Chains A and B, each alone.
Chain A
Amino acid sequence: MSVMTLEKTIIRARDVSVYYGEKRAVSNIHMDIERNSVTAFIGPSGCGKSTLLRSMNRMNDLVPSCRVTGSIEVDGTDINSADVNIEGLRQVIGMVFQRANPFFKSIYENIAFAPRFHGLTDKRKLDEVVEESLRKAALWDEVKDRLRESALSLSGGQQQRLCIARAIAMQPTILLLDEPASALDPISTMKIEELVMSLKEEYTIVIVTHNLHQAARISDKTAFFLMGELIEYNDTSKLFTTPENEKTEAYISGRFG
């Protein structure tokens, strides 16, 4: 498929609801996410941001009580249909979690592990992938002399960038970031923000954040959720200056949440 024929919409959610047992955590979401853009999910704690994000690469499969209804299409394929290869899907859609979770392995191995598993065994090519991913994650200069050291010897901010590099190494088209900077200091946070903005050239990014300034700074579109419902979804500049919904306005002006 050439770039010209690609549709603008890459993720299309239609009437998506997510249940944990009987409890509905996400209700009837309709949403189109645009290719090569940054989309931010905001909303008070427990409103279902993570739940919706995790249903986009089927991480919710890990929760036995969890059930997803409606349809989520990625590049036109319903990801919940029976014939979808879930490992293949997760290669296309990378994910970075709120708490940095590097493997208990070396820095090098953290990144090389997945590409090697997926068939890249040539040592030189692997080295290249590791270097390139670390460069893109703005971590290369800090770790290039200690690739064989344990990833746990890195600082929290470095660990999180390592996790981003690890996701990038799979050459995904979509990156799902669940509050990637919430546990980090301001400088590390800034680095991650810069990283996100530089990555959108190549990837479609969906980022959950509690930091409204962050959402305003780095995203093209913002979705505001409340109690499992999508209240407002709009261009970020619009949503933060002239919100259409009064609940959105109440939230961004800090009156609740």
Chain B
Amino acid sequence: MRAKIMDRAATVILTLIAVLIIGTLVGLLGFILTQGWHKLNLDFLTSPPDIVKAGGGIGPQLFNSLYLLVLTMVIALPLGLGAGIYMAEYAPDNKFTQFIRMSIEVLSSLPSIVVGLFGLLVFVNMTGWGYTLFSGALALTVFNLPLLVRVTEDAIRNVPRSQKEASLALGITKWRTIVSVILPAALPGILTGTILASGRVFGEAAALLFTAGMSSPDLDFSQFSLSGPTSPLNPFRPAETLAVHIWKVNSEGLAPDARDVADGAAAVLIIAVLLFNLSARWFGAWIYKKMTSGAN
């Protein structure tokens, strides 16, 4: 009888908590989307911002955010995967490994503004690059590496040991076993972690203020060189991202429609993150299916 009441109570409480969380989430999303909805048109998404007049857009910022995401992932993913594989499969169980593990923990608990200031010191000043996309990408790599390493390590450790044994017992080398048997099985986990990290990159502002900077040059979208000062693809130019733009417009915007612009940009940010999540999940499921059924 008692157990039954306890069971009831637990169910009610847990349901309440779940409803509370989902309610908050839906409310927040709904609020941001309804506030920014009227701004969502092609003109807003593609035109450059206007500092003093009304009617500015967020084109360069949106592009910067996406490009920064790609740059960061190109740097962070191989490092995170490599380190995760090392920690799961190769690292001996000793003091040094424990030290690495502790460093990762510490790194993952750093506030992003601290990472930003570290980035300013190392990737902006010491390198002499100034505010650049690349500095921003490096700072975000520092920020996301712990997450990626841990997620990869966990995903690999969660692959049943019997999979590894099956492969090794067939005379397959350890490296090939990792690449062809373990990683595909760990992919869903790794992908979820990558999505999480991507969301953090896309929404991050504090770590970018002093690394990628708070301004963008006038981008010339007819240019595709990797070095021109106004070329969008040049990683060594300053770049204000969407999240940074929201923060800046909100705190020091001079245009009369600053509030509107911030609302619209926030809605775009949320939608982009949602879209990214969904497509990455779909893509992950597709890859998994592809890898788990015939390879050729």
Contacts and interface: CB of A to CB of B under 8 A. Distances in A.
Chain B CB within 10 Å — which of A57, A105, A149 has the most? A105
A43 to B, nearest CB: 22
A114 B171 contact: yes
Interface string B156-184: 00001011111111111100100011001
A114 B293 contact: no
Contact of B176 (A88, A90, A101, A117): A117
Nearest to B167: A103
Interface stretch (A4-12, A72-80, A162-170): A162-170
B296 A103 contact: no
Given A97-B165, A117-B176, A105 B170 contact: no
Contact of B166 (A88, A97, A109): A97
A150 B163 CA distance: 15
B166 A148 contact: no
B273 interface: no
Contacts of A101: 160, 162-163, 165-166
Given A97-B162, A104-B163, A113-B180, A148 B294 contact: yes
A87 B174 CA distance: 10
A91 B170 CA distance: 6
B292 interface: yes
A208 B173 CA distance: 26
A89 B168 CA distance: 11
B210 to A, nearest CB: 45
A89 B171 contact: yes
A148 B165 CA distance: 23
A108 B166 contact: no
Interface string A142-185: 00000111101000000000010011001000000000000000
B292 A105 contact: yes
A48 interface: no
A59 B291 CA distance: 26
Contacts, number: 84
A59 to B, nearest CB: 6
Nearest to B292: A104
Given A62-B165, A101-B165, A114 B170 contact: yes
Interface in A63-92: 64, 86-91
B164 to A, nearest CB: 8
A148 B169 contact: no
A155 B149 CA distance: 36
A95 B169 contact: yes
A59 B165 contact: yes
A91 B163 CA distance: 17
Interface in B80-112: 93
A87 B171 contact: yes
B293 A57 contact: no
Contacts of B180: 113, 117
B209 interface: no
A103 B296 CA distance: 16
Interface string A93-128: 011010101111110110001100110000100000
A111 B69 CA distance: 40
B185 interface: yes
B165 A103 contact: no
Given A90-B168, A95-B169, A166-B170, A103 B162 contact: no
B14 interface: no
B228 to A, nearest CB: 46
A64 B94 CA distance: 13
A60 to B, nearest CB: 11
B5 interface: no
B126 interface: no
A149 B171 contact: no
Chain A CB within 10 Å — which of B171, B173, B185, B293 has the most? B171
Given A97-B162, A97-B165, A99-B162, A105 B171 contact: no
B172 A105 contact: no
Contacts of A152: 292
Interface in B257-296: 291-296
A123 to B, nearest CB: 7
Given A59-B165, A105-B184, A106-B294, 17 more contacts: A57-B169, A87-B171, A87-B173, A90-B168, A90-B169, A90-B170, A91-B171, A94-B170, A101-B162, A103-B163, A104-B292, A105-B295, A113-B167, A113-B172, A117-B176, A166-B170, A167-B170
8 A-B pairs with the lowest CB-CB distances in the bound complex, closest first: A101-B162, A90-B171, A114-B170, A91-B171, A106-B294, A87-B171, A106-B293, A95-B169
Interface of A: 57, 59, 62, 64, 86-91, 94-95, 97, 99, 101-106, 108-109, 113-114, 117-118, 123, 147-150, 152, 163, 166-167, 170
